[in-house]
Chains A and B, each alone.
Chain A
Amino acid sequence: MLNEKTVQAVLTAAVSTGAEFAEVFAENNCRNNIGITNGVVERANSGTDRGCGIRIINRERVIYVYTNNMAYDNLIRIAREGAAAIKGDTQHNITVFNRLEGSNAHPVVIMPDTVEKKRIVDFLMRGHSRAMAYDSLITQTGLSYMDSVQDVLIANTEGLWAEDKRVRTRISVSAVASNESEKQTGYFGPGALQGFEFCENMDIEAIADEAARCAVTMLKADNCPGGKMPVVMDNGFGGVIFHEACGHGLEAAAISKKASVFTDKIGEMIASEKVTAIDDGTIPNQWGSINIDDEGTPARRNVLIEKGVLKTYMTDRYNGGIIGMAPSGNSRRESYKLVPVSRMTNTYIAAGTDKKEDIIADTEYGLYAKYMGGGSVNPASGDFNFAVSEAYIIRNGKICEPVRGATLIGKGSLVLKSIDRVSDNLALAEGMCGASSGSIPVCVGQPMLRVQNITVGGRG
């Protein structure tokens, strides 16, 4: 992408006014995507994003300039333009880069650019046919495929030189069930840090069946009753509650501004002792994994909460610096257009010892949230809300009728303390997480767990 001489000159220009630190992030990202609606291939697109971002830091001040004109003169010009906003007195001597060596922990078997488009279409069509055949109530399907091969180069004034290749593949399957007046959608979006072998090894029929089943079940469901009640959240995407309500509050970007309820709480009991939570960017081929983060720090497994006690935050270089913590391998960005900040990778509540069956049997009345939808949180207050995409009423220890339109609202800090059961069936699920440094691939996850009391919004 860029040679050492160019990077050296750009960094030198970036710190020409005495900044403490400068960094170059160059990227080339080749993508393909295909979209099929109701069995018809509607969309096929390919292309390349390429550009370079230069970050200059001096004390509290962060300057960021980027361009996709990678010509030497242009890079030097924008580096100088950025430097003009700094008055510092640090001297640098950028002569040698230390290449960060490390093996690729996420092997790829079939590179996306070797796969014929026809093969991808045939694969998706299997999912379409299966979902349509599930039930006569299924009236529409939508399937999509995307791949991305992102090559990155990160170099900084401390002599770091790191490169990484991230190959990602993801599909989505949605099935719509309808009657005369209504429609309900079932959706799954599996993905991996892998090539096309991810699709080859996938049971797309099973995924299509499950999406269709979810849509049909919800179409026949009555509205969810509102009120406060115990909620049993199942594994996998149920972990979105931890991601939104707690994970974001454990990012250094929120902590450094004291904009999180978890600020200054390390060592304190912030959750029920049943809760151990981990962010692990090293899981092989997992959707949210990385070899190195977008500042060149190797990915790590960080225990965030251990038996209810807050152990650490997820940090990036800048915000970690403010709170006196080293980078934790969590600095991420969607592309060269964005300043990296502390973000999650694969974040989950660890498996406990309770049994799934016992948790349900122990609940007299409550809501069973089989699949969660998305949600959002206000980091200052910890107020969150989540949609439940498939839910059932629990009555006398049994899962009873399905209900729809449920949302869960509450405060992250309170919910963490009122988790009273954690089962042993941990599973992860893929998603995209949006925040100041863009939309990035992450996994959420948890085993089945129960929250004693939470406000359920519904219409019934």
Chain B
Amino acid sequence: MDIRTLKDRLFESAEKEGFESCEIYYQSGSSFTVSIYKGNIEKYQSSENGGFCFRGLYKGNMGYYFSEALDIDVDKAVKTAKENAEVITIKDREFIYKGDKKYPSVNVYNAALEDVRAEQKIQTALSIERYANEYDSRITVNRSMVTSGDSYVYICNTEGLEVSEKGNHILAYVEVMAKDGEDTREKGEIWIGTDISGLNEKELAERACKKALSALGAKSIAGGTLKTVIENETFADILSCFLNSFIAENVQKGFSLLKDKKGKQIASDIVTITDDPLMEGGYATTAFDSEGVASHRKTIVEKGILKTYLYNLKSANADGVKSTGNGFKGSFRATVSTAPTNFYIEKGNKSREEAISGIEYGVYINDVAGLHSGTNSISGDLSLAAEGFLIENGSITRSVDQITIAGNFYEILKNIDTVCSDLKFNSSAIGSPTVVINGIEVSGEQ
């Protein structure tokens, strides 16, 4: 059964069951991955996958059912969705959206990528591994891989919405290990794009090698409250852990300390945060969200002042505002929640070197571990194993590990002293420039 036939049958059955309105969200895609280890193909994967979510309003409540199989018992699926609707007691209602008049056009599909054969992707992964091996004798390559994928989303409902979007991407990742005696350090670097000619294999390999080699010989330092530089991608990763507090749903439920902070100073006045689903080349670029709401760029924090939360249709209705177009699902299986798109701290003027040169004694952090366990997204408390370098008299003097940095995210936002010009996104489309924090608790050897 194809998806449009299935849609018609589901809608028909739902009407008989007494659903007021309903929707189908279908997602499909294929992907290819090749992973190289010691010159050989270690992993070679290809897949095609898809599934749908049916949801409908029954007596004002939304009921859900999902399936990867399309040849399902349609009436049973609709009945299960109805049972799910019947136990819902939340008062804020979910909506089946009638659609926007106009949708922006975004550039997320590159037809030429379809012509890149498996063999070329294998060669790319091989040559990244070769460049890394050639860089230094202390380097071994754990993994060099290339992944490509395409995706298709189709949303159609009984309120008149019918939208679809096709996208594709290619990604290269290399993970190397630097070894000097018993001292081993693993680091990885990633590249994501839609055009394989934009990938510089040598540069990617060398970046990973440099990162791993520079960490060799790291030792702990004495603790204290230190001026701390956090590298762009690392700060983006930390920011990712606290995004939940910007989501209106969490604010409304009391799970965010940003409650009642709209219009107030929540960060240093050099911090501006943007969520831009229309960004050219962004990893989360899209013309509409999972509810079919048209995308637009918005400022979340302007010069330290919180301007808006991220909304989907339900949370926007509860606050009497318009959806910001951030109603996304993790996959077709999930119910609609809220998520950022390309969410980033706007860059400043200083280069990283300039920022470091102003620090008499401090640390430069370029890697943290334990993000999923060492952060409390509600309280903002964080305590992370960290590594990087020691800064003395305005320059980097040696590598550092076995330390923890601890603090509170909301205090850190206010204590940002410098925002550099090197904006970089992590693979979850969260971006930050390198930042300087005025004092973080660092603990290490005593």
Contacts and interface: CB of A to CB of B under 8 A. Distances in A.
Contacts of B253: 37-38, 140
12 contacts: A41-B87, A49-B67, A50-B67, A62-B44, A64-B44, A81-B46, A183-B257, A226-B406, A380-B184, A407-B373, A407-B385, A457-B443
A373 B88 contact: no
A73 to B, nearest CB: 14
A34 B335 CA distance: 11
B68 A49 contact: yes
A163 B267 CA distance: 56
Contacts of A47: 53, 64-67, 333
Given A66-B49, A78-B46, A406-B383, A44 B64 contact: yes
A184 interface: yes
A46 B64 contact: yes
B19 to A, nearest CB: 15
A140 to B, nearest CB: 6
B406 A387 contact: no
Interface string B380-409: 010111000000000000000110101100
Interface residues of A, number: 71
A227 interface: yes
A176 interface: yes
B373 A380 contact: no
Chain A residues touching B, majority SS: strand
Interface in B330-367: 333-335
B186 to A, nearest CB: 5
A184 B378 CA distance: 8
B137 interface: no
Contact of B184 (A44, A65, A381): A381
A226 B83 contact: no
B441 interface: yes
A48 interface: yes
Q: What are the 6 A-B residue pairs with the smallest beta carbon separation, nearest first?
A: A457-B404, A226-B443, A47-B66, A374-B373, A385-B385, A44-B84
Contacts of A337: 47, 49
A118 B63 CA distance: 14
Contacts, number: 212
Interface in B404-442: 404, 406-407, 441
A259 B406 CA distance: 29
A387 B67 contact: no
Interface in B117-162: 118, 142
Interface string A322-348: 000000000000000101000000000
A78 B42 CA distance: 19
A226 B441 contact: yes
B406 A458 contact: yes
Q: Which of A37, A46, A384 has the most CB of B within 10 A?
A: A46
A109 B49 CA distance: 34
Contacts of A185: 376, 378
Nearest to A223: B406
Contacts of A312: none
Contacts of A64: 43-46
Nearest to B143: A257
A42 B61 CA distance: 10
B175 to A, nearest CB: 10
A173 interface: no
Nearest to A409: B385
Given A62-B44, A383-B402, A387-B374, 17 more contacts: A37-B253, A40-B90, A41-B88, A42-B90, A61-B44, A68-B51, A82-B44, A118-B86, A176-B254, A181-B257, A183-B257, A257-B37, A339-B45, A383-B401, A385-B384, A407-B370, A455-B402
Contacts of B335: 43, 45
Contact of A386 (B53, B72, B370): B370
B404 A409 contact: yes
Contact of B142 (A69, A259, A457): A259
Contacts of B303: none
A376 B186 contact: no
Contact of A50 (B68, B88, B118, B223): B68
B276 to A, nearest CB: 29
Contact of B89 (A40, A45, A82): A40
B213 to A, nearest CB: 14
Nearest to B118: A85
